Amino acid sequence: MAHVHAPGLVLRMDPDELIREGATFSCAEHEAVHAQHYFVCIEANAKDGLWLPLFSGPRFGSKELPNASRTGDPRWVGTSAHYQPEQIWRASHKAAQRAASAAHDSSSGKLPNRIRAESLPAASGFQFPATK
């Protein structure tokens, strides 16, 4: 699974593995996702990235990402994608790779799950965890 961690990349990841690998999140622990979810990268540098967990249905205060902006595996493209503005994760690229492997992410470097950059929320609109 060779992915370029850049804005728009979507990986199915295991939050428990992210935490084991040192990832941090912006919300209270009891509000953080605990089961495998798709996450979308909204910002990345050479070391780590900011990831939003995505939900398949609306929740109070959630925002939807447009279906037409998604490409990749049909199981990913065929579902709704909502995010909570209060929850964002910071994870190293190594942590993201391990969490995606633990969740048996089905995307590949040749056919990654993606959301077009123009459909992503700006990272500046989030209160996110500081870099370690």
pLDDT of residue 24: 95
pLDDT of residue 2: 53
CA terminus-to-terminus distance, the chain: 26
Task: Kindly state the average pLDDT of the residues 67-96.
Answer: 92
More confident residue, 130 or 113: 113
| Mode of pairing for the β-strands spanning 24-25 and 89-92 | antiparallel
Query: Residues near 40 by Cβ (< 8 Å), separated by ≥ 6?
Result: 8, 9, 10, 51, 52, 54, 65, 81, 83, 115, 120
pLDDT of residue 75: 83
Q: Taking 50 as the threshold, does the pLDDT of residue 132 lie above it?
A: no
Task: Kindly state the average pLDDT of the residues 92-109.
Answer: 92
Torsion on CA atoms 46, 47, 48, 49, rounded to nearest 10 = -10
Place of tokens 């959630």: 62
Q: What is the rounded distance in angstroms from the CA atom of residue 46 to the CA atom of residue 60?
A: 34
Q: How confident is the model at residue 127 (pLDDT cuts 50, 70, 90)?
A: confident
Range with the lowest mean pLDDT among 34-43, 80-89, 92-101, 108-117?
A: 108-117
pLDDT tens-digit readout, 10-64 = 999 999 999 999 999 999 899 999 899 999 999 999 999 999 999 999 989 899 9
Task: Kindly state the average pLDDT of the residues 100-118.
Answer: 90
pLDDT of residue 129: 56
Q: What values do phi and psi take at 6, rounded to 5?
A: -145, 160
CB-facing half-sphere around the CA of 59: CA atoms within 13 A: 13
